[in-house]
Structure 1
Amino acid sequence: MTSTWNTERGWESLKRSGAHLEGHFLLTTGRHSNQFFLLARLTEHPDLLEPWAEALAERLKPYQPHAVVGPAVGGIIPAYAVAHHLPGTRVLFAEKSEDGGMKFKRGFRLMPGERVAVVEDAVTTGSSVAKVIDAVRDAGGVPVAVGALVDRSQSPLLFHEPFEALLRVANIPNWDPAACPLCAQGVALSRPKS
């Protein structure tokens, strides 16, 4: 595999697809930000997603995963696209459970000791990925790496597995709602995933 992805092309595809937004946004974590990555807009275009998936697969290949797992909903398409470039792997997804964690449903099973790469579209705090890692362990799998299309984290992530991200954008602020300067200015809050 030789990926054609690079940072410049990555930003270009985010803008072209409408996946990078600017304004005042509610993040999945409950925090607020002036920028939002709505990567569903990228993943709806297979031709734009393909170089991302190939590049992330190249980075995850050394960890020799047997399965790729994504969190529902945002990680499902990227996980599938990445697994396509890792011959012999299969792809599963974990869903929210009643206790607030993640678990495998729909008959998905991991074999004891199965090596798993967890793939997410965008990571801010890593809380969704950490819940998927717990689900992988609970199902008998061994998490060997985490991959993301976009890493927008600003503080240490909530998992300890090796982390591979294609686009790191740590300079994008996010705030607790009580300390959000955009709220203080009265800027309307958007919920792009609604």
Structure 2
Amino acid sequence: MQEEAVLAEFRASKALLEGHFLLSSGRHSAHYLQCARVLMNPERAGRLATALAAKLPHDIRRKVNKVVSPAMGGVVIGQEMGRALQVDAMFVERPEGTFELRRGFSLEQGDMVLMVEDVVTTGKSSREAIKAIEAAGGKVVAAAALVDRSGGTVDLGVPFTALVELNFPTYAADELPAELADMPAIKPGSRAQP
């Protein structure tokens, strides 16, 4: 799936928003990708996951026997990636502020895990999810996301594949351009802001 086709999926679902947004990373942006909207249609979610699975290196696809994603944003794409790769999918969540497996989910020592996110900007939640997966006995062999907003700079400590790389600029609070500084920031994500 080419970048323009992926963006068409986001536009068709009204998931590409413009304004002033405070991202879960703590950075500000004039663009926000509401992946929950693009993934709310099961056929679209399946198409995107199948395209992302096809982008994974062949040796990674062969190794993976579990998919784990961080809640909330990664739950749907993680489930669809499990379907695309024909492996079980589960998620980590933060009941007390730190990711952990719950709800009867568990990993066996040495499970080969693909950690799947919806969007990666700084990689903070991805690294936290990877740490929780490893603490639970899994070996994270790679990470994947629908969208890489890092400009290709994110380092998760494992091979990383994104369906599309979007380079919408992000800003620290003290470096906002005038057009963003003049409007209130909206916090559209599911996670409490820092």
Query: Is the shorter-chain TM-score for this pair beyond 0.5, marking a shared fold?
Result: yes
| RMSD (Å), alpha carbons | 1.7
* 2:30 and 2:180 in contact (8 A); partners too: no
Q: Counterpart in 2 of 1:187?
A: 183
Q: Counterpart in 2 of 1:19?
A: 15
Q: Counterpart in 2 of 1:117?
A: 114
Letter in 2 for 1:65: V
Q: Counterpart in 2 of 1:90?
A: 88
* 2:114 and 2:141 in contact (8 A); partners too: yes
* 2:50 and 2:84 in contact (8 A); partners too: yes
Letter in 1 for 2:94: K
Q: 1:145 to 1:184 in 2, by over 3 A?
A: closer
3-state SS of 2:85 partner: coil
Letter in 2 for 1:91: A
Q: Deviations over 1:92-126 (max 9, x none)?
A: 1000152x331111121100000000000000001
Q: Deviations over 1:38-62 (max 9, x none)?
A: 1000010112222210011123353
How do 1:36-75 and structure 2 match up within 5 A?
36-60=32-56, 62-63=59-60, 64-75=63-74
* 1:94 and 1:132 in contact (8 A); partners too: yes
Please list every run of 5 or more consecutive structure 1 residues that lacks an aligned counterpart in the other structure. none
Q: Counterpart in 2 of 1:107?
A: 104
TM-score normalised to structure 2 length: 0.90
Identity of aligned residues (%): 36
> Post-superposition shift, 1:178?
2.1
Q: Distance in 1 between matches of 2:4 and 2:59?
A: 25
Highest RCO, 1 vs 2 (Cα 8 Å, sep ≥ 6)? 2
TM-score normalised to structure 1 length: 0.90
> Post-superposition shift, 1:155?
6.8
Q: Distance in 1 between matches of 2:16 and 2:44?
A: 14
Q: Counterpart in 1 of 2:5?
A: 9
Please list every run of 5 or more consecutive structure 2 residues that lacks an aligned counterpart in the other structure. none
Q: Deviations over 1:56-93 (max 9, x none)?
A: 11233531210000100000000000110112x11010
Q: Counterpart in 1 of 2:150?
A: 153
